[in-house]
Amino acid sequence: MKNLLTYPLAAGLLIIAILSTSHAAMAIVLPGPPSLFDGPAVTPATAVHQPSPSYPPEALKQELEGTVWVKGLVGIEGDISDLEVVTTDCESCGFEEAALDAAKLYQFEPAHCGSEPVASWVSLKIEFRLP
């Protein structure tokens, strides 16, 4: 196992995502701390523009495929920042840099707490598949 991420959800739930270096990822939803039960419902951020990543030339030449998981902070205007590679299944393929470059161009409808936009963390699965 490479990474363990936790995300608070509305209605007092906590999601625990366990990301591995294999192709599989697992998520477990558990009751969260009591403080999460209070307040208005939270709707998650949703991507409205998801540009395809540029395929790294060397990976294309070698006919390599892979997946990169990236996390980032979506602001109240729908922009994304604080990008970080969480896991990749091909570390020397050039996929990480290409995934981060693509993720920088994503646009979101921000998360909302009631009617107010709020910043929230998102996980992006960016896949590289041969045409």
DSSP string, 82-120: EEEEEEES-TTSSHHHHHHHHHTT-EEEPEEETTEEE-E
pTM of the entire predicted model: 0.69
What token pair was written down for 123?
A: 């996980």
State pLDDT tens for residues 16-59.
Answer: 444 433 333 334 444 444 445 466 788 999 999 999 999 999 99
